[in-house]
């Protein structure tokens, strides 16, 4: 079995920062983590935080869905528990499992000592010290810095049975462990769920969440994002990068470049000391924004030169 792709992340920030009290406050909170959110996303997040319901973010890969949870962890000073979903994810890698080797050692030691009867031993080996807690169970436990951020990332990669299992967790913020009973959160975690929509998530789960589709930003906002995320890039180069990427998104490509690819391309071009796009540099660095060879082959050469010519002409005609 593949090792569980699970991360637990903590950050050095001021603990217990206040939950934003308005949509504008939510925008400023995200901006404090260098995340430039539009008002509709900030509204969905504000309602999720204020009403204690999970936030379900759906959209193309690379548009900033996962980053919302990371920024919340940073700006609110909360622990981030990340569950990276994949096909075959089950309870033992997402919720909990018993430490069977340690239990067997305890049983052998007890048998050798003869100091406990069967019922007492059974009660002992199913104690908390033998329970390996995974992110979903950890998220229900009290935290010194307040309820954690639970990121369930790329839920669409899991199987439907696991999605169904989440219903109890997201409805009542509780988990039933047969040997112990029901574990319920004193304070619900802040839950962010993401999906790249490789398959549809069941309505029963969506009904338990505030839903928001995270789309590609317009050129003006993406340029603003680039100025924050890649401030070392020359202003003219950033404008050309955004213009080029937006034209790619109007094409019928296998995988459209996301905001993450725009930022990566700007960083790569800056590393190459590029002050302005030229056909050769574009052809050499297309792998920063296009991740499939068929897409690269389609754009390389004359098509890239055509797009670049249009972008430069548009920028030259724009008011200073």
Checking if the pLDDT of 5 tops 50, the result is no
Spatial distance between the Cα atoms of 137 and 50, rounded to a whole number of angstroms:
23
30-67 per-position pLDDT tens digit: 999 999 999 999 999 999 999 999 999 999 999 999 99
Q: What is the CA radius of gyration of the chain?
A: 24
For the chain, count helices (H), then strands (E). Answer: 15, 10
Collect all residues with Cβ–Cβ distance below 8 Å to 238 and sequence separation of at least 6. Answer: 223, 226, 227, 230, 266
Checking if the pLDDT of 1 tops 50, the result is no
Rounded to an integer, the average pLDDT of 171-199 is 92
Closest residue by Cα to residue 259 from 221, 286, 294? 221
Query: What are the two backbone dihedrals, phi and then psi, of residue 184, each rounded to the nearest 5 degrees?
Result: -120, 140
Closest residue by Cα to residue 265 from 246, 250, 46? 246
Query: Where does the pLDDT of residue 6 fall: very low under 50, low under 70, confident under 90, or very high at 90 and above?
Result: very low
pLDDT at 291: 95
Query: Where does the pLDDT of residue 9 fall: very low under 50, low under 70, confident under 90, or very high at 90 and above?
Result: very low
114-145 per-position pLDDT tens digit: 666 666 666 677 878 889 999 999 999 998 88
Coil, strand or helix at 129:
helix
Checking if the pLDDT of 198 tops 50, the result is yes
Q: What is the pTM of this model?
A: 0.87
Query: Where does the pLDDT of residue 320 fall: very low under 50, low under 70, confident under 90, or very high at 90 and above?
Result: low
Rounded to an integer, the average pLDDT of 273-288 is 96
Burial class (CB in 10 A: 0-12, 13-18, 19+), 153: buried
Sign of CA dihedral 269, 271, 275, 281: negative
pLDDT at 123: 63
Spatial distance between the Cα atoms of 133 and 98, rounded to a whole number of angstroms:
9
pLDDT at 119: 60
The first and second tokens of residue 163, run together, are 């999605």
3-state secondary structure 217-260: CCHHHHHHHHHHHCCCCCHHHHHHHHHHHHHHHCCCCCCCCCHH
């Amino acid at each position: 079995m593949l090792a569980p792709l699970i991360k637990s992340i903590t950050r050095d920030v001021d603990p217990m920062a206040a939950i934003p009290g308005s949509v504008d406050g939510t925008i400023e909170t995200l901006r404090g983590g260098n995340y430039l959110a539009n008002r509709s996303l900030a509204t969905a997040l504000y309602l999720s935080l204020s009403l204690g319901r999970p936030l379900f973010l759906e959209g193309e890969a690379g548009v900033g869905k996962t980053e919302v949870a990371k920024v919340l962890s940073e700006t609110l000073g909360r622990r981030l528990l990340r569950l990276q979903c994949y096909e075959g994810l089950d309870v033992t890698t997402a919720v909990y499992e018993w430490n069977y080797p340690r239990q067997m050692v305890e049983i052998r030691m007890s048998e050798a000592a003869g100091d406990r009867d069967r019922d007492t031993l059974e009660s002992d080996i199913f104690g908390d010290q033998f329970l390996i807690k995974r992110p979903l169970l950890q998220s229900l436990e009290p935290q010194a810095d307040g309820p954690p951020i639970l990121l369930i990332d790329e839920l669409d990669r899991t199987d439907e049975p696991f999605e169904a299992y989440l219903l109890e967790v997201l409805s009542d913020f509780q988990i039933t462990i047969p040997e112990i009973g029901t574990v319920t959160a004193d304070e619900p975690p802040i839950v962010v769920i993401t999906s790249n929509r490789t398959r549809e998530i069941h309505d029963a789960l969506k009904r338990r969440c505030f839903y928001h589709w995270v789309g590609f930003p317009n050129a003006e906002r993406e340029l603003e994002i680039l100025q924050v995320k890649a401030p070392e890039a020359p202003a003219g180069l950033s404008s050309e990068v955004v213009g080029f990427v937006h034209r790619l998104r109007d094409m019928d490509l296998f995988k459209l470049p996301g905001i993450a690819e725009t930022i990566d391309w700007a960083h790569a071009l800056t590393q190459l000391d590029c002050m302005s796009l030229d056909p050769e540099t574009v052809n050499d660095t297309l792998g920063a924004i296009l991740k499939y060879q068929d897409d690269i082959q389609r754009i390389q050469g004359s098509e890239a030169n055509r797009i670049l010519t249009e972008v430069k002409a548009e920028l030259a005609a724009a008011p200073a």
